[in-house]
């Protein structure tokens, strides 16, 4: 975790609890945990890149990632390993500089590419068995925040990230999205 420069996140079951809601109009809705958003903003505040890869397509995910200023969003992705390689090439990173956070067996190909493999607490046992670290909280309940804080802690940058977030909030009069 010490060398991580890019944190790649799954969506359903990782950034959310896996529930997918459909309104009568067919519009999809998802719930995101605010602690995860704050973690993403903290990571970016100290120069870590955050990317999202999802097997599904959702306007809710697009909106949330835009709000958090996550620039790399790959949706309707059938080959997460290939998407990981594209991101690594884009930023000229080696596998030990990339962490992947996921929850289910469709994340196994991304695990094969990532140097740091993180599973959320309620992940499939198959994924947890291959993980370098398992979050204390479940997907959609702050697990992404746990993963980001653990990476920052092992890099000795957690306090720096917290201070950078608080400074952004102060400069922006508390309007930093989380």
- Beta-strand pair 28-29/98-102: unpaired
User: Does residue 41 come out as left (phi exceeding 0), alpha (psi in the -120 to 50 range) or beta?
Assistant: alpha
Is the residue at 145 inside a domain? yes
Q: What CATH number is given to the structural domain containing 155?
A: 3.40.50.1000
Is the residue at 178 inside a domain? no
Is the residue at 176 inside a domain? no
Is the residue at 106 inside a domain? yes
Look-up of token digits 């100290």? 46
Q: 75 lies in which domain range?
A: 6-171
Is the residue at 102 inside a domain? yes
Is the residue at 77 inside a domain? yes
Is the residue at 1 inside a domain? no
Number of domains in the chain: 1
Is the residue at 177 inside a domain? no
Q: Other C-beta atoms within 10 Å of 5: how many?
A: 16
Residues with Cβ within 8 Å of 94's Cβ and at least 6 positions away in sequence, in order, are: 88, 115
Written as tens digits, the pLDDT of the chain (178 aa) is: 999 999 999 999 999 999 989 989 988 899 999 999 999 999 999 999 999 999 999 999 999 999 999 999 999 999 999 999 999 999 999 999 999 999 999 999 999 999 999 999 999 999 999 999 999 999 999 999 999 999 999 999 999 999 999 988 888 776 666 6
């Amino acid at each position: 975790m010490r060398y991580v420069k890019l944190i790649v996140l799954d969506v359903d079951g990782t950034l959310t609890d896996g529930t997918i809601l459909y309104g009568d109009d067919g519009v999809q809705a998802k719930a995101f945990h605010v602690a995860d958003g704050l973690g993403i903003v903290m990571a970016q505040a100290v120069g870590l890149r955050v990317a999202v890869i999802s097997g599904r397509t959702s306007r809710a995910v697009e909106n949330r990632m835009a709000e958090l200023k996550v620039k790399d969003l790959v949706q309707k992705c059938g080959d997460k390993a290939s998407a990981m390689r594209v991101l690594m090439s884009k930023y000229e990173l080696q596998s030990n500089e990339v962490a992947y956070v996921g929850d289910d067996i469709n994340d196994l190909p991304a695990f094969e590419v990532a140097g740091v493999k993180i599973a959320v607490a309620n992940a499939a046992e198959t994924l947890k068995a291959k993980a370098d670290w398992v979050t204390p909280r479940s997907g959609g309940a702050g697990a992404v925040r746990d993963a980001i804080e653990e990476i920052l802690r092992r890099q000795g940058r957690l306090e720096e990230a917290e201070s950078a977030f608080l400074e952004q909030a102060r400069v922006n009069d508390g309007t930093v999205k989380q």
